[in-house]
């Protein structure tokens, strides 16, 4: 190789750009790793809280459960950022998509199920009783439905054109079925709103009643995750050049969460779920019947 060729190769900015590009690929994965870390922290905090319930330091269980719920809230933020950053930097990879789904199973599937068990029915019902077994089944179905929802989303996202006839098509503006982060986020928001374990806060009888209501909620969330109801994805929010209003709104919501997290987080998650349900209900009543082609032509004449 000539001296000129070596000089061009040495001074060329291409190697630095390739190195910078490789570094960008690590940023979304770092947020996904943080997502998994928050899920692991939630599980460990819930286990520690379960050890303290019924003991002399039962009051400390509240702090562990609250911190575990907050960790799922942070994981929600990381989960939103990793995909958005990957799309902004054009560093989306197949392994990143699969890693993100596995992270969601841990953080928004296993962690909320364990959190609900420790906070509610794990201490309220006697082990081996009928209600205890039903509660275990409901938690398991919550995890299974969330996992199935993630698998369905991955298949629809990777092969949208060769799915079986009748399968719901992918739409970037909406999710098919309740996203598992929202389902897990609602469980975490409830625990964060009232982090004291139900048995300690209300006594055995009322704790059992609230635990049954929690089981019903977990069952409803499971059904919503595997349903075909569409929920807004908000992926297009902030993508336009004039997004100052979006930034101001995001900052305002962030301040409200910082000041009144117990109320604002719960209100946001409930509002998101109700928005999808009300939109589906309105669509059923306001949908116009499709007229056959012959009737359309006759009415036009």
What is the value of pTM for the model shown? Answer: 0.80
CATH fit for domain 19-235, picks 1.20.120, 1.10.287, 1.10.3470, 1.10.1790? 1.20.120
> Is the pLDDT assigned to residue 301 strictly greater than 60?
no
Strands, E assignment, 124-260: 174-176, 230-232
CA–chain centroid gap for 283, Å, is: 25
In the Cβ-directed half-sphere of 22, how many Cα atoms lie within 13 Å?
Answer: 5
Mean pLDDT of 185-198: 94
Mean pLDDT of 83-107: 78
Using CA of residue 188, residue 230, residue 83, residue 259, what is the dihedral sign?
A: negative
Every domain of the chain and the residues it spans: 19-235
**What digits encode the pLDDT tens for the residues 125-184?**
988 889 999 999 999 999 999 999 998 888 877 665 444 445 545 556 778 889 999 999
**What digits encode the pLDDT tens for the residues 126-141?**
888 899 999 999 999 9
Mean pLDDT of 248-265: 86
59, two tokens: 């009051």
Mean pLDDT of 188-201: 93
Q: How far apart are CA 121 and CA 175, in angstroms?
A: 31
* DSSP 8-state symbol, 202: H
Q: How far apart are CA 83 and CA 69, in angstroms?
A: 22
């Amino acid at each position: 190789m000539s001296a000129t060729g070596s000089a061009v190769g040495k001074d060329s900015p291409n190697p630095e750009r390739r190195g910078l590009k490789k570094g960008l690929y690590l940023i979304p994965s770092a947020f996904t790793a943080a997502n998994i870390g928050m899920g692991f922290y939630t599980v460990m905090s819930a286990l520690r809280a379960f050890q303290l319930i019924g003991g002399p330091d039962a009051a400390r269980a509240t702090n562990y459960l609250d911190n575990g719920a907050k960790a799922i809230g942070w994981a929600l933020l990381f989960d939103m950022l990793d995909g958005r950053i990957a799309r902004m930097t054009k560093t989306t990879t197949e392994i990143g998509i699969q890693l993100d789904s596995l992270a969601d199973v841990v953080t928004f599937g296993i962690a909320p199920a364990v959190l609900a068990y420790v906070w509610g029915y794990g201490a309220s019902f006697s082990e081996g009783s009928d209600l205890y077994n039903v509660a275990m089944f409901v938690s398991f179905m919550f995890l299974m439905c969330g996992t199935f929802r993630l698998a369905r989303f991955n298949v629809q996202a990777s092969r949208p054109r060769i799915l079986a006839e009748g399968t719901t098509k992918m739409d970037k503006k909406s999710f098919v079925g309740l996203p598992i982060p929202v389902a897990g986020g609602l469980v975490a928001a409830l625990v964060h709103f009232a982090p004291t374990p139900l048995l300690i806060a209300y006594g055995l009888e009322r704790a059992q009643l609230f635990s049954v209501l929690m089981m019903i909620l977990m069952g409803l969330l499971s059904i919503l995750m595997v349903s075909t109801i569409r929920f807004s994805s908000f992926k297009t929010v902030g993508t336009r050049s004039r997004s100052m209003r979006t930034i101001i709104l995001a900052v305002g919501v962030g301040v409200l969460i910082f000041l009144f997290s117990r109320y604002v987080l719960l209100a946001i998650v409930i509002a998101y779920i109700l928005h999808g349900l009300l939109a589906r209900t309105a669509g059923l009543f306001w949908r116009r019947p499709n007229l056959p082609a012959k009737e359309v032509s006759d009415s036009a004449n």
